[in-house]
Chain A
């Protein structure tokens, strides 16, 4: 069963452009995490969102959790080559503490 869908799967943009990555599901989640993975390394946590409608900012990255806790978005302002990587959303299912389901990821390439 496909619980989670991330879009777009691939994104190639020029430095300075803005972009948004989406994470959607028909299920309700207790919380959701976003990770970034660079080639040859393990994913690294960027943020955890918990409350429906919550917005968190991390420098040029803005994360939002949907009001119904079924979806989330990641917006990057003025992308830089250092933002290149695989972005993964990982929601947590109620009453299954610690058990994350990962989306297939969005592979972002930012060209100078």
Chain B
């Protein structure tokens, strides 16, 4: 299993540009989420999905869109990039079974800089 994969690993955008961060998992997990990580602020939830066709907003959803057409993929779209969106973005998938309660499996991250 590849686990959770994210592309690209690094990206530089100019203000106003749009782009999609890709995330895929091959573990058949029902739950997927996107976080951003900024210095001193831990991980903040952007959007999450409890299954294909179902998405919901997290703590910091403004400026981002998501969709979940398949169990495996959960792309994050930046509509019009702003310098405040400079961050490291992590995608995660998780499941709950028996005593394994919603263990999150994280991808390697995408480091985004907006100039």
Chain A residues in the interface with B (C-beta under 8 A): 6, 9, 31, 33, 35, 40-45, 48, 50, 88, 90, 92, 97-105
Nearest chain A CB to B101 CB, angstrom units: 5
- Residue in chain A with minimal CB distance to B96: A97
What is the size category of the interface that chain B forms with chain A?
20 to 34
SS of A interface (majority): loop
A43 touches B106 (CB 8 A): yes
A48 touches B101 (CB 8 A): yes
Known: A42-B109, A45-B104, A50-B101. Is A98-B94 also a contact (CB below 8 A)? Answer: yes
Cα A13 to Cα B31 in complex, Å, equals: 38
B45 touches A99 (CB 8 A): yes
Contact of B75 with A by CB under 8 A: no
Known: A41-B109, A42-B107, A97-B96. Is A102-B35 also a contact (CB below 8 A)? Answer: yes
- B 35-65 binary contact with A (CB < 8 Å = 1; else 0): 1000011111100101000000011000000
- Residue in chain B with minimal CB distance to A86: B42
SS of B interface (majority): strand
B106 touches A98 (CB 8 A): no
Name the contact of A104 in the complex, choosing from B40, B48, B100, B102 (C-beta under 8 A).
B40
Identify 9 residue pairs between A and B in the complex whose beta-carbon atoms are under 8 Å apart, listed by A's number. A33-B104, A35-B104, A40-B109, A41-B109, A48-B99, A90-B43, A90-B104, A98-B96, A100-B102
Cα A104 to Cα B39 in complex, Å, equals: 9
Contact of B90 with A by CB under 8 A: yes
